[in-house]
Amino acid sequence: EAEDRCARLSLERQEAEDRGAAAAIQHQTKMDELQLQHAQELTELRSQIEALEKRAVKAEEENEDFRQQLEDRQPELDRLTKRAYDLQLRLIEEQSLRKRCHNQIQDMKGAIRVFCRFRPLVPRETEKGDKVVLRQLDAFGVQLARVAKETKEFQFDSVFDGNSTQEDVFADCKELVQSAVDGYNVTIFAYGQTGAGKTHTMYGTQEDPGLAPRSIHALFEVIRKEQQGGAKSFKVKAYMVEVYKQEII
């Protein structure tokens, strides 16, 4: 019985030694794998560090080159900066001179200017047998010729016949927008009997606007150009009144 027990103990010890040896081998294998993984990671990190060091050196060289180029070009930059400043001063002076000349020209044209515009006949007038009795003589004159009556001629600051466009009329008025921005009081109005075409001349249509919408558009264009210079700010106010039979309604 003692021998059997010794044999069992010896077998159990052998099995324990075998399990210990297997565990040691497995542990050693894991250690070898971890060591290999760490070695690979270390190698990769070293490669990254070397790449970063090379990039840093290259960046420093490029920075030095850029700094040297900037220093070399600094005199040229200073010259161009001074040139731009001088041109800005000249632009301000020339704008002021242009405004003075512009308003002098407007003054020479007269404080009050009268334009004449006559429209073509509408279909209902043609059907009634009406005839055109006005004829444009030149840019300033118009002739009134009625049957069995004396022919008369009239002179204006400008004349627009039935073929004139809204743009033609506005071309003779748009310079007044600059005068308004420069501080002058400006008024434009249409006068004539009912059906003469006052509303068409002043307001027009969406497709073919008249003096009012064109002047407002031109006003904000002038303001935009003035503001780009940075020397002025603008505040625009507007109101509308209607006059009917000499009364404001």
Note the pLDDT tens digit of each residue in 158-203. Answer: 899 989 999 999 998 888 898 888 888 888 989 888 889 999 999 9
**pLDDT value at position 2?**
66
**pLDDT value at position 157?**
85
> What pTM was estimated for this model as a whole?
0.56
**pLDDT value at position 202?**
93
- How is the chain classified by DSSP, letter by letter? -HHHHHHHHHHHHHHHHHHHHHHHHHHHHHHHHHHHHHHHHHHHHHHHHHHHHHHHHHHHHHHHHHHHHHHHHHHHHHHHHHHHHHHHHHHHHHHHHHHHHHHHHHHHH-SS--EEE-PPPPHHHHHTT----EEE-SSSEEEE--TTS--EEEE-SEEE-TT--HHHHHHTTTHHHHHHHTT---------STTSSHHHHHTB-SSSB-HHHHHHHHHHHHHHHHHHTTS-----------EETTEE-
Does position 150 have pLDDT exceeding 70, yes or no? yes
